[in-house]
Amino acid sequence: MRPILTLILLVIVNSLQGQSTREIVKDFDGDAIMDLVYIDSDSNTLNYKLSSNAFQVVSSLEIRSLNFGNTLVETPNGFEFWNDYGRSGWINEFQYNPIEKKMQLIKIRRTDYDIDRFKFGEEVRYDSGKSSVDLIKHIYIGDFYQVFNGQLIKLPTIKSYMEFTETYLYCFSDAINFKFEERCVELYENAKQQMP
C-alpha cells in the first residue's frame, strides 16, 4: 500500500511542478550574459537579477493576489507574468528599459470568463471579454461579448486613450491590475449603454 501512495504523491508533485514556469534564465539587458527572473511564492513577489546590476536581487512589491496558476512566459524582448488565470486574470508584460536600466511594465492584458461557453460555443472563444493597454503608447483596446435577450452579441471594439504612471518591476504590485480593471469596467458599461 505504501508504494502506491508514494507513487501517487510523486505523480501529483511532478504535475504541480510541470504546470507552470517559475523562472526564466535569459539575457534581458543585452550584454550577452544570462540574467534571471523568478516568482517567489514565500514573499509573494516577482524578482530579477541582472548581470548589468551585479546580480543584485530586485523585488516587486507584494502581489496580494498571487494565485496557484501564476507563471512566467518568455517573450522576444522580455517576459510575461500571468496571474489569476482562471475565470479571469491578468498578463503583465515586462521589458528591459536600457535608458533607466530597469525592467519596465509595458503592457497589461485582461481576460474575463463570464459567458457560458457550453451554451454559446466557439463564438466566445472561452471568454466574454479581452482588453489590453499599451503602457508606452497609452492605447486601450477592449473586445467584449454581452448576452441580450438570450442572444450573444459582440459589442463594438472599444479604443481609448488610457494613461498610467510609468511602472518598473521594483514598484509593481497587482494593485495596477485592479486599477486597470476599474477603468475597463467603466468603458464596458459605457459601451453597453450605446447598444440599441
Does 98 have pLDDT greater than 80? yes
3-class SS of residue 89: strand
As a residue count, the chain comes to 196
DSSP string of 106-125, one letter each residue? EEEEEEE--S-HHHHGGGGT
Asked if residue 83 lies in contact with residue 174, where contact means CB atoms within 8 angstroms, the answer is yes
Compare 59 and 2 and report the one with higher pLDDT: 59
pLDDT band with cut points at 50, 70 and 90 for residue 8? very low
Q: Provide the whole-model pTM.
A: 0.83
- 29: DSSP letter: S
Kindly report which listed range (46-50, 66-70, 125-129) carries the lowest average pLDDT score: 125-129
State the average pLDDT over residues 26-48.
96
pLDDT attached to residue 69: 74
State the average pLDDT over residues 110-129.
63
Give the C-alpha separation, 86 to 19, whole Å.
14
Asked if residue 105 lies in contact with residue 173, where contact means CB atoms within 8 angstroms, the answer is no
